[in-house]
Amino acid sequence: MLPFRIALAALVAAVAVSSLAVVPVQAAAPQVRMQAPGFYRMMLGDFEVTALYDGSFDLPVDQLLKQPAARTNAALARHFQSLPVETSVNAFLVNTGTKLVLIDTGTGGYSGPTSGTLLANLRAAGYRPDQVDDIFITHMHGDHVGGLSHEGVAVFPKAVVHAGKGDVDHFLSQAEMARAPADARDGFTTAMNAFGPYQASGRLQPVAADGEIVPGVRAWGTPGHTPGHTSYVVESKGVRLIVTGDLIHVAAVQLEDPTVTVAFDSNTQAAEAQRQKVFAQAARERTLIAAAHLQFPGIGHLVASGKGYAYEPVNYQRGK
Ligand SMILES: [Zn+2]
């Protein structure tokens, strides 16, 4: 019997092997780990507004915000967040019907692999860079101007670029760069590289005063975060959107307590004052705001609450 048993065992083993070969072990489906193209579209009166996602940064906000880390951590916990805080980088494309306007340009990919997708998302949203007529820069930090140029060439070949005169005089000045601390000089170089092709072709227009630049879009000086930080008010048919640039970085903290400032501010007192002024007006007048670092798409309303604000993101729209 022994040989038969051995033969049977061999047969069972062979069947097991062959059935393994026919029906392979199922692995779980691989995780995909990406989002849909990052754009969000809404109408503002007759204007079409498209938020463009450039990517995100993981920020150690407990070290960046000018308050005790324990307070920051407690605020994050209240909002179901933890360190580091993944922070969106948003820009905004406005089609007024007569002009295609881009407000800020993202990092251009110079800040690492987690950002730099603005151009891909602009195309995914149905536009081309050569269609952009005017670019409005809120301020000259790299995550807002890096996308202007690539290797010395203007990414937006026909656009006129508008930026606050305070930033033009600061970030595009060799003398100011020479005066700056060594660790701040990279920021100057980034801005100079970004603006170089536009300056060379006479397409940089400093914004020296508040007022309308193209029909339906006006500048509102909000200096503090940088010397020439500028907000832009977009308005159609009485519906208004204030694009606030970097008046806020950490929603979970600075909405509840707008007095908290951040290490990126060049003048913390002025930056806080501008945040308080613009946010109070937006809440009082029930005006939409759009911000570069509120969670994508970064468009919503502020509601006065305690000594700060609650944030109501826009209701999702189908795009009309
Ligand atoms: Zn920024």
pLDDT in tens, 275-294: 999 999 999 999 999 999 99
147 alpha carbon – ligand 1 mean position (Å): 13
104 alpha carbon – ligand 1 mean position (Å): 10
Classify 49 as helix, strand or coil: strand
Give residue 27's pLDDT band: very low, low, confident or very high (50, 70, 90): confident
Give residue 22's pLDDT band: very low, low, confident or very high (50, 70, 90): low
244 alpha carbon – ligand 1 mean position (Å): 11
284 alpha carbon – ligand 1 mean position (Å): 25
18 alpha carbon – ligand 1 mean position (Å): 60
Peptide bond into 297 cis (omega under 30): yes
Q: Residues of the chain with pLDDT > 70: what percent?
A: 92
Give residue 319's pLDDT band: very low, low, confident or very high (50, 70, 90): confident
Residue 19 has a pLDDT of 47
Residue 3 has a pLDDT of 47
Give residue 21's pLDDT band: very low, low, confident or very high (50, 70, 90): low
Burial 296-314, CB ≥16 within 10 A → b, else e: bbbbbbbeeeeebbebeeb
Residue 136 to residue 304: CA distance in whole angstroms: 29
Residue 1 to residue 66: CA distance in whole angstroms: 85
Lowest mean pLDDT among 20-24, 40-44, 189-193, 307-311: 20-24
Give residue 18's pLDDT band: very low, low, confident or very high (50, 70, 90): very low
Q: Residues of the chain with pLDDT > 90: what percent?
A: 90
143 alpha carbon – ligand 1 mean position (Å): 5
- Under 8 Å between Cβ of 282 and 23: no
Residue 219 to residue 200: CA distance in whole angstroms: 24
144 alpha carbon – ligand 1 mean position (Å): 6
Residue 11 has a pLDDT of 45
- Contacts for 315 with CB less than 8 Å, ≥ 6 apart: none
Q: Strand 85-95 vs strand 100-103: parallel, antiparallel, or unpaired?
A: antiparallel
pLDDT digits 0-9 by tens, 215-267: 999 999 999 999 999 999 999 999 999 999 999 999 999 999 999 999 999 99
> What is the mean pLDDT of the segment spanning 152-163?
98
4 alpha carbon – ligand 1 mean position (Å): 78
Q: DSSP E strands: which ranges in the chain?
A: 39-44, 47-59, 85-95, 100-103, 134-137, 149-150, 153-154, 160-164, 204-207, 211-214, 217-221, 230-236, 239-243, 288-290, 299-305, 308-313
Q: CA-based angle 220:226:112, to the nearest 5?
A: 115
The answer, yes or no, to whether residue 26 has pLDDT greater than 90, is no
Give residue 128's pLDDT band: very low, low, confident or very high (50, 70, 90): very high
247 alpha carbon – ligand 1 mean position (Å): 9
Q: Which phi and psi (to 5°) does residue 70 adopt?
A: -60, -40
> CA 214, 217, 223, 224 torsion: positive or negative?
negative
283 alpha carbon – ligand 1 mean position (Å): 22
> What is the mean pLDDT of the segment spanning 170-178?
98
DSSP string, 231-260: EEEEEETTEEEEE-TTS-S-HHHHTT-TT-
158 alpha carbon – ligand 1 mean position (Å): 25
203 alpha carbon – ligand 1 mean position (Å): 23
